[in-house]
Amino acid sequence: LLTANPRLFLFYGLENGAFAGVGHSPRFADYREPGESGYRLDDEERMEGMQKHLDSCVDYSGSKVPCVLKPGENYIECIDDDCTSLQKCPDEESQRACWDLPTEEERSFCESKIKWCTLYVTKTVPANYEEGPKRGYIPYTIYCVDTTGIPTQTPGQNSESGQDGLGNCYHE
């Protein structure tokens, strides 16, 4: 599909509706696994599921480094521990006063357009780590893809932007 229309963006998600990534060219795609960045490294119970994220970053030389937020970086923290509290999303349709509409049919249609968003706050990692625990993040990954969108760096198997053939792609 991307080969047929090189200006096309493909957005893809998980079965539960969570956004997973975007294919933005015939050669590259990107992905961020769902989850909450800003998880506390001193929370042993929560770290069981987050350890794979903490251990998945590399620096420019390819050496492993922990995925830890730096002082001054922002992260999102859910209001409750399980991220289950919801509020109406800030878009116009969700904020509309459906109860003021004259007919039940109009109210029902209006209410069907309401979207619900997780209740969260944006926080900043303190400049001095002594003020709070270190926090990890879930990395964002960019990778090379073949003509079917499957990640690969196999020589001769990558889609070529604007061309009919296959080529090479190496993403560092």
pLDDT band, residue 8 (cuts 50/70/90): very low
pLDDT tens column, 56-110? 888 777 788 888 888 888 888 877 766 778 889 888 999 999 999 999 999 999 9
Q: What is the pTM of this model?
A: 0.55
Asked if pLDDT for residue 142 goes beyond 80, the answer is no
Q: 3-state SS of the chain: helix, strand, coil percent to 5?
A: 15, 30, 55
